[in-house]
Amino acid sequence: MGERLKGKVAIITGATSGIGEETAQVFVEEGARVVIAGRSEERGRKIEERLGAAARFKYADVTKEEDIQEMIRFTYEEFGRIDCLFNNAGGRVEGTLETVTMENFLYGAKLLLGSVVFGMKHVAPIMKKQGSGCIINNSSVAAIRLNQGGYLYSALKAAVTHITRIAGVELGPYGIRVNSISPGAIATPIFLGGSQAADRLETTVQERKMEKLLANLSKATPLPRAGLPRDIAYAALYLASDEGSFVNCCDLVVDGGRTSLFRE
């Protein structure tokens, strides 16, 4: 057990699988108390049990402002402070330039951008009162390079990266740092159709699919391996810890050098 987050309280959205789950694990290992937020009650309770007394599961659908507000209220009442909010929740967003629908747009905007906007809105007053805090927004290399994600997904992630900088400037005078992380292709259940789809696969089938995915992703970067959820978790750990205390308005790209292979 480490102590890089000793005494700190963190909320992680989308924490019932992939990057969020791994980040919750790393944060608890480093001494934080963590609220695991997500829509899968079953998975959330299992993670809560595995992580022990330092973890609490809170159901939250981040496309709904009231759920975000309740998640933050719950955390503050449970632990008396909030030191870090990791707006990690995300997912697939459908629609090309000529096929996108209003339904696609509104859902994507709520999931990828609204979750960040309203997470920051409701946590900021608490962090201002404390005189400190760290907000981390999960963006994507799709925000900075072409052909790294879908049409709507890329545009919304670009908005996440930019609004991070705006918020960092506004909240910096209150001792609140706001940064984003832009992962490259990370081997998570989203490539298997999402965590629920992955859960439905037989263990051996799931292992074979993940093995194939890791092999394919290892060819996509200058480094000869695939990106893993723990790679992003450690980036979040750095930003949330005191070691990152002078980092603000930054987009930390964690992609094994993948974006350096492309020119726009």
| Residues with a known catalytic role | 153
Secondary structure (DSSP) of 19-81: HHHHHHHHHHHTT-EEEEEES-HHHHHHHHHHHGGGEEEEE--TTSHHHHHHHHHHHHHHHS-
Q: Which residues contact 120 (CB under 8 A, 6 or more apart)?
A: 85, 87, 135, 167, 171, 178
- H or E element at residue 188: none
Q: Which residues contact 199 (CB under 8 A, 6 or more apart)?
A: 43
Which tokens belong to 20? 């969020």
**Cα 113–chain centre separation:** 12
Order of strands, edge to edge, in the sheet holding 176-183?
55-59, 33-38, 9-13, 84-87, 133-138, 176-183, 251-254
Judge contact between 171 and 127, C-beta under 8 A: yes
**Cα 79–chain centre separation:** 21
Phi and psi dihedrals of 133, rounded to 5?
165, 165
- H or E element at residue 12: strand 9-13
- In terms of DSSP H, where are the helices of the chain? 18-29, 41-51, 65-79, 102-108, 115-130, 151-171, 195-200, 203-217, 229-240
